[in-house]
Amino acid sequence: NGFKCHCMSESHQRQLLLASENPQQFMDYFSEEFRNDFLELLRRRFGTKRVHNNIVYNEYISHREHIHMNATQWETLTDFTKWLGREGLCKVDETPKGWYIQYIDRDPETIRRQQEQERKKKQDLDDEEKTAKFIEQQVRRGLEGKELEKPVYTELSRENEDEKVTFNLNKGASTSIAASSKTSSVLGPNALKTAEGAVKRKESAHSSGQPTEKKKKSALDEIMELEEEKKRTSRRDYWLQPEIIVKIVTKKLGEKYHKKKAVVKEVIDKYTAVVKMIDSGDKLKLDQTHLETVIPAPGKKVMVLNGGYRGNEGILESINEKRFSATIIIDSGPLKGRRVEDIQYEDISKLA
């Protein structure tokens, strides 16, 4: 024991001498190790979620072999957090509760998926413009098909200069009734009956035309309600669903799991999934950024994961490889039997 203590003492003294000769080299080494371990924990444990920096730090120092911050170039956790923001490694912001950090994932696969999502959003905006034009055309056709009532003008004339002219100013009427005072006792009742008959015919015409007008209005309302429903169920930034088959795209877990398929068994906090490997049966807990959807062969069942038909099961009818999209037939819910074209790969996945 004495020999060991003596050797360890000499080794410790040599380390101190080396550190005193070039202290900056040792500080740079420990700083790099601290930074790498901290960022790896942040990426693996929290993904791209916004989290308090103290929560990550407490979890980091709970490991026995962690590097203490005193051995690094940063004096405090706040200094380290600000440095992460300046270097572009994380998004940082200060609040009354302290500093929050958010990991920036620069993995090529993640960047590719983000670009595809941006392209899909742009395509959705184009689809909305097309839908708006379609609705405008439907409204224009409805207005063109509706018969507009034109006013009828009659010439005002009298044969005898002694006759008095009277006007019947009904609301919305466009005709006048002229009658002579000499024959008022004879023409008065007939004129009244004629006016009543005209009013009845007009009302009957309106009543007979109501179903057609109501039918057109209902069709337009149906289109508007459908578009409003699609807007209410617009795209979300999370897509995981239980019992779908996914592919692991991260290389952090090694070749054993890279590009292998698994079944989602549980979804945690919308963005994290507990998956079971199909080949080995191993269970892993992964963020959705480390997974991607699986497109089966035509005729197989899929689930819609995003957009207006989210949550519906369907049958894959065909695939458009040039547009990275597919055509499916909805196989569940009130929309069963509906054919949906040009739905993107990342919005559907094979069902287990």
Within the chain, all domains assigned CATH 2.30.30.30 are found at 297-351
CA gap 185, 181 in Å, rounded: 8
Given the structure tokens 């070749």, which residue do they identify?
A: 255
| Check whether domain 297-351 has CATH 3.30.530.20, yes or no | no
Report CA-CA distances (Å) from 26 to 10, 15, 22, 81.
19, 10, 7, 21
- 107: its two tokens: 């993995």
- The CATH 2.30.30.140 domain(s) of the chain lie at 237-294
User: 281's torsion region: left (phi>0), alpha (psi -120 to 50) or beta?
Assistant: left
Which residue ranges does the chain devote to CATH 1.10.10.2030? Answer: 8-103
First to last CA, the chain: 62
Task: Tokens for 101, please give them.
Answer: 């950090």
Stated pTM of the model: 0.40
Q: Report the C-alpha gap between 106 and 136 in whole angstroms.
A: 43
Lowest mean pLDDT segment, chosen from 41-45, 64-68, 112-116, 238-242? 112-116
| pLDDT digit string, tens, across residues 142-195 | 776 555 555 666 666 666 666 666 666 654 444 444 444 444 444 455 545 555
**26-30, 85-89, 202-206, 316-320: segment of lowest average pLDDT:** 202-206
Cα–Cα distance for residue pair 69/225, rounded to 1 Å = 58
Query: 247 φ, ψ to 5°?
Result: -120, 135
Assigned token pair, 87: 């270097």
Cβ contacts of 287 within 8 Å, gap of 6 or more: 47, 48, 271, 272
DSSP string for residues in 184-247: HHHHHHHHHHHHHHHHHHHHHHHHHHHHHHHHHHHHHHHHHHHHHHHHHT---S----TTBEEE
Architecture of domain 8-103: Orthogonal Bundle (1.10)
| Mean pLDDT, the chain, whole residue set | 76
**Structure confidence at residue 213 (pLDDT):** 44
The CATH topology of domain 237-294 is SH3 type barrels. (2.30.30)
CA angle at 278 for the pair 246 and 250, rounded to the nearest 5°: 45
